[in-house]
Structure 1
Amino acid sequence: MIFMLFGISSSVYAQSTEQRIVTGVVADESGTTLPGAAVSVKGTKTAALTNAEGKYSIMVSSNASVLVFSYVGMTPREITVGSKDVVNADLVSSTSTLSDVVVIGYGTLRKSELTSSISSVSQKDLKNLPVAGIDQALQGKVAGVTIANNGGQPGGGVSVRIRGLTKVGDNNEPLYVIDGVPMGAKSTSLEQNFLGGGSGQTGQSVLATLNPADIETIDILKDASAQAIYGARGANGVVLINTKRGRANQGKISYDSYVGMAEIPKKLSVMNLRQNAEYMNSLVGEIRAVPGSGLDSIGEFRDPSLLGTGTDWQDEIYRRGFTQSHQLAFSGGSEKTQFYFSGGYLEQEGTLIKTGFERVTLRANVDHQATKWLKTGITTSLSRSDQQIGLSDGFDAVTSTVLYNSPATPVRDINGNFISQNVIGGSTFGNPNNPVALASLRDVTNQTSKVFGTVYADINIIDGLVLRSEGNFDFSLSSDKAFQPFVQNETTNAIILSPSRLREQRNNSLYWALKNYASYNKTFSKHNIGATLGHEAQRSKYDYINANRNDLVLNLPSLNAGDAGLTQGIGAGAGVWSMESVFARLNYTYDNRYAISGTVRRDGSSTFGDGQKWGTFPAVSASWTVSNESFLKDNKYLNYLKFRAGYGEVGGQDAGGANLYSANITLFGTAPFGAGGLPSNVANPFITWESIVTYNGGVDVTTWNKKLEFSLDVYKKVTTDMLLATQVEAFSGLGTAWNDIQTPRTNDGKMTNTGFDIGLTSYNIQKNDFSWKTNIVFSRYKNVLNSMNKPEATITGMFDEYGTKSLVTLSQQGRPFGAFYGYVTDGLFRSQEELNNGVDYGLSIAPGSLWLGDVRFKDLNGDNVVNDQDVTVIGNPNPDFTYGFTNTFSWKGIDLSVFLYGSQGGNIFNYSRRQTESLSSAYNNQLTTVLNRYSANNPDGDMPRYNQWHNNNSRISDRYIEDASYLRIQNVALGFSLPKSLINKVKVNNARFYLSVQNLYTFTNYSGYDPELGAMNNNVRFMNIDNGHYPVPRTFTLGTNIEF
Structure 2
Amino acid sequence: MMFMLFGISSSVYAQSTEQRIVTGIVADESGTTLPGAAVTVKGTKTAALTNAEGKYSILVPSNASVLVFSYVGMTSQEITVGSKDVVNVGLVSSTSTLSDVVVIGYGTLRKSELTSSISSVSQKDLKNLPVAGIDQALQGKVAGVTIANNGGQPGGGVSVRIRGLTKVGDNNEPLYVIDGVPMGAKSTSLEQNFLGGGSGQTGQSVLATLNPADIETIDILKDASAQAIYGARGANGVVLINTKRGKANQGKISYDSYVGMAEIPKKLSVMNLRQNAEYMNSLVGEIRAVPGSGLDSIGEFRDPSLLGTGTDWQDEIYRRGFTQSHQLAFSGGSEKTQFYFSGGYLEQEGTLIKTGFERVTLRANVDHQATKWLKTGITTSLSRSDQQIGLSDGFDAVTSTVLYNSPATPVRDINGNFISQNVIGGSTFGNPNNPVALASLRDVTNQTSKAFGTVYADINIIEGLVLRSEGNFDFSLSNDKAFQPFIQNETTKAIILSPSRLREQRNNSLYWALKNYASYNKTFSKHNIGATLGHEAQRSKYDYINANRNDLVLNLPSLNAGDAGLTQGIGAGAGIWSMESVFARLNYTYDNRYAISGTVRRDGSSTFGDGHKWGTFPAVSASWTVSNESFLKDNKYLNYLKFRAGYGEVGGQDAGGANLYSANITLFGTAPFGAGGLPSNVANPFITWESIVTYNGGVDVTTWNKKLEFSLDVYKKVTTDMLLATQVEAFSGLGTAWNDIQTPRTNDGKMTNTGFDIGLTSYNIQKDDFSWKTNIVFSRYKNVLNSMNKPEATITGMFDEYGTKSLVTLSQQGRPFGAFYGYVTDGLFRSQEELNNGVDYGLSIAPGSLWLGDVRFKDLNGDNVVNDQDVTVIGNPNPDFTYGFTNTFSWKGVDLSVFLYGSQGGNIFNYSRRQTESLSSAYNNQLTTVLNRYSASNPDGDMPRYNQWHNNNSRISDRYIEDASYLRIQNVALGFSLPKSLINKVKVNNARFYLSVQNLYTFTNYSGYDPELGAMNNNVRFMNIDNGHYPVPRTFTLGTNIEF
Q: Smaller-chain TM-score range?
A: over 0.9
Contact 1:32 1:989 in 2 (8 A): no
Larger mean Cα displacement after TM superposition, 291-300 or 549-558: 291-300
Query: Aligned pair in 2 of structure 1 residues 704, 831: CA closer, same or farther (>3 Å)?
Result: same
Contact 2:119 2:219 in 1 (8 A): yes
Query: Aligned pair in 2 of structure 1 residues 854, 374: CA closer, same or farther (>3 Å)?
Result: same
Note the C-alpha offset of 1:123.
0.8
Query: Aligned pair in 2 of structure 1 residues 17, 580: CA closer, same or farther (>3 Å)?
Result: closer
Query: Aligned pair in 2 of structure 1 residues 765, 57: CA closer, same or farther (>3 Å)?
Result: farther
Note the C-alpha offset of 1:98.
2.3
Contact 1:188 1:201 in 2 (8 A): no
Rounded Cα–Cα distance in structure 1 between residues aligned with 2:911 and 2:534 = 51
Larger mean Cα displacement after TM superposition, 261-270 or 672-681: 672-681
Note the C-alpha offset of 1:88.
19
Contact 1:35 1:250 in 2 (8 A): no
Query: Aligned pair in 2 of structure 1 residues 402, 709: CA closer, same or farther (>3 Å)?
Result: same
Note the C-alpha offset of 1:28.
9.4
| Counterpart residue number, 2:372 | 372
Rounded Cα–Cα distance in structure 2 between residues aligned with 1:896 and 1:631 = 41
Contact 1:155 1:357 in 2 (8 A): yes
Contact 1:196 1:394 in 2 (8 A): no
Query: Aligned pair in 2 of structure 1 residues 43, 520: CA closer, same or farther (>3 Å)?
Result: closer
1:648-727 pair list within 5 angstroms: 648-655=648-655, 658-727=658-727
Query: Aligned pair in 2 of structure 1 residues 842, 597: CA closer, same or farther (>3 Å)?
Result: same
**Structure 1: gaps of 5 or more residues:** none
Contact 1:198 1:394 in 2 (8 A): yes
Larger mean Cα displacement after TM superposition, 926-935 or 52-61: 52-61
Contact 1:576 1:657 in 2 (8 A): no
| Counterpart residue number, 1:480 | 480
Note the C-alpha offset of 1:29.
9.4
| Counterpart residue number, 1:998 | 998
Contact 1:609 1:686 in 2 (8 A): yes
C-alpha distance after superposition, 1:401-454 (max 9, x if no partner): 000000000000000000000000000001000000000000000000000000
Contact 1:480 1:506 in 2 (8 A): yes
| Counterpart residue number, 1:305 | 305
Rounded Cα–Cα distance in structure 2 between residues aligned with 1:289 and 1:67 = 97
Query: Aligned pair in 2 of structure 1 residues 83, 421: CA closer, same or farther (>3 Å)?
Result: farther
Query: Aligned pair in 2 of structure 1 residues 673, 907: CA closer, same or farther (>3 Å)?
Result: same
Contact 1:661 1:685 in 2 (8 A): yes
Query: Aligned pair in 2 of structure 1 residues 63, 971: CA closer, same or farther (>3 Å)?
Result: farther
Query: Aligned pair in 2 of structure 1 residues 435, 20: CA closer, same or farther (>3 Å)?
Result: farther
Note the C-alpha offset of 1:82.
26
Note the C-alpha offset of 1:237.
0.2
C-alpha distance after superposition, 1:360-386 (max 9, x if no partner): 000000000001110000000000000
Note the C-alpha offset of 1:679.
1.7
Query: Aligned pair in 2 of structure 1 residues 68, 412: CA closer, same or farther (>3 Å)?
Result: farther
Contact 2:189 2:1017 in 1 (8 A): no
Note the C-alpha offset of 1:669.
1.3
Note the C-alpha offset of 1:190.
4.9
Note the C-alpha offset of 1:659.
1.2
| Counterpart residue number, 1:11 | 11
Rounded Cα–Cα distance in structure 2 between residues aligned with 1:726 and 1:167 = 16
Note the C-alpha offset of 1:296.
1.1
Query: Aligned pair in 2 of structure 1 residues 6, 466: CA closer, same or farther (>3 Å)?
Result: closer
Query: Aligned pair in 2 of structure 1 residues 996, 55: CA closer, same or farther (>3 Å)?
Result: farther
1:318-717 pair list within 5 angstroms: 318-655=318-655, 658-717=658-717
C-alpha distance after superposition, 1:797-854 (max 9, x if no partner): 0000010000000000000000000000000000000001110000000001100000
1:690-839 pair list within 5 angstroms: 690-839=690-839
Rounded Cα–Cα distance in structure 1 between residues aligned with 2:619 and 2:664 = 35
Rounded Cα–Cα distance in structure 2 between residues aligned with 1:256 and 1:95 = 28
Note the C-alpha offset of 1:894.
0.3
Rounded Cα–Cα distance in structure 1 between residues aligned with 2:503 and 2:129 = 35
C-alpha distance after superposition, 1:286-339 (max 9, x if no partner): 221112323110000000000000000000000000000000000000000000
Contact 1:191 1:480 in 2 (8 A): no
Note the C-alpha offset of 1:50.
19
Rounded Cα–Cα distance in structure 2 between residues aligned with 1:409 and 1:297 = 17
Contact 1:32 1:990 in 2 (8 A): no
Rounded Cα–Cα distance in structure 2 between residues aligned with 1:590 and 1:479 = 55
Note the C-alpha offset of 1:187.
3.6
Note the C-alpha offset of 1:81.
23
Larger mean Cα displacement after TM superposition, 76-85 or 351-360: 76-85
Rounded Cα–Cα distance in structure 2 between residues aligned with 1:829 and 1:689 = 54
Rounded Cα–Cα distance in structure 2 between residues aligned with 1:43 and 1:585 = 36
Rounded Cα–Cα distance in structure 2 between residues aligned with 1:89 and 1:529 = 27
Q: Equivalent pairs: percent with the same residue?
A: 98
Rounded Cα–Cα distance in structure 1 between residues aligned with 2:850 and 2:398 = 33
Contact 2:191 2:201 in 1 (8 A): no
C-alpha distance after superposition, 1:639-685 (max 9, x if no partner): 00000000000000003561120122222213233332222111110
C-alpha distance after superposition, 1:460-515 (max 9, x if no partner): 11111111000000001000000000000000000000000000000000000000
RMSD of aligned alpha carbons: 6.0
Secondary structure in structure 2 of the residue aligned to 1:229? helix
Note the C-alpha offset of 1:563.
1.8
Rounded Cα–Cα distance in structure 2 between residues aligned with 1:460 and 1:5 = 40
Secondary structure in structure 2 of the residue aligned to 1:982? helix
**Structure 2: gaps of 5 or more residues:** none
Secondary structure in structure 1 of the residue aligned to 2:8? helix
Contact 2:77 2:91 in 1 (8 A): yes
Query: Aligned pair in 2 of structure 1 residues 367, 307: CA closer, same or farther (>3 Å)?
Result: same
Note the C-alpha offset of 1:17.
33
Query: Aligned pair in 2 of structure 1 residues 596, 7: CA closer, same or farther (>3 Å)?
Result: closer
Rounded Cα–Cα distance in structure 1 between residues aligned with 2:336 and 2:4 = 61
Contact 1:90 1:768 in 2 (8 A): no
Note the C-alpha offset of 1:97.
2.7
C-alpha distance after superposition, 1:601-659 (max 9, x if no partner): 00000000000100000000000000000100110000000000000000000035611
Q: TM-score, normalised by structure 1?
A: 0.93
Note the C-alpha offset of 1:999.
0.2
C-alpha distance after superposition, 1:67-118 (max 9, x if no partner): 9999996557999999999999999732123232100001111111110100
Contact 2:73 2:98 in 1 (8 A): no
Q: TM-score, normalised by structure 2?
A: 0.93
Note the C-alpha offset of 1:197.
3.7
Query: Aligned pair in 2 of structure 1 residues 263, 52: CA closer, same or farther (>3 Å)?
Result: farther
Rounded Cα–Cα distance in structure 2 between residues aligned with 1:458 and 1:21 = 24
Rounded Cα–Cα distance in structure 2 between residues aligned with 1:11 and 1:743 = 91
Larger mean Cα displacement after TM superposition, 935-944 or 21-30: 21-30
Secondary structure in structure 1 of the residue aligned to 2:191? helix
Secondary structure in structure 2 of the residue aligned to 1:279? helix
1:820-969 pair list within 5 angstroms: 820-969=820-969
Secondary structure in structure 2 of the residue aligned to 1:203? strand
| Counterpart residue number, 2:129 | 129
Rounded Cα–Cα distance in structure 2 between residues aligned with 1:188 and 1:893 = 43
Larger mean Cα displacement after TM superposition, 479-488 or 92-101: 92-101
Query: Aligned pair in 2 of structure 1 residues 623, 29: CA closer, same or farther (>3 Å)?
Result: closer
Rounded Cα–Cα distance in structure 2 between residues aligned with 1:149 and 1:639 = 39
Rounded Cα–Cα distance in structure 2 between residues aligned with 1:726 and 1:47 = 63
Q: How many residues align?
A: 1044
Secondary structure in structure 1 of the residue aligned to 2:856? strand
Query: Aligned pair in 2 of structure 1 residues 197, 530: CA closer, same or farther (>3 Å)?
Result: farther
Contact 2:189 2:202 in 1 (8 A): no
Query: Aligned pair in 2 of structure 1 residues 289, 633: CA closer, same or farther (>3 Å)?
Result: same
Note the C-alpha offset of 1:562.
1.2
Rounded Cα–Cα distance in structure 2 between residues aligned with 1:4 and 1:463 = 34
Secondary structure in structure 2 of the residue aligned to 1:699? strand
Contact 1:203 1:1017 in 2 (8 A): yes
Rounded Cα–Cα distance in structure 2 between residues aligned with 1:362 and 1:697 = 42
Query: Aligned pair in 2 of structure 1 residues 881, 51: CA closer, same or farther (>3 Å)?
Result: closer
Rounded Cα–Cα distance in structure 2 between residues aligned with 1:732 and 1:438 = 43
C-alpha distance after superposition, 1:708-744 (max 9, x if no partner): 0000000000000000000011111111111111111
Query: Aligned pair in 2 of structure 1 residues 103, 111: CA closer, same or farther (>3 Å)?
Result: same
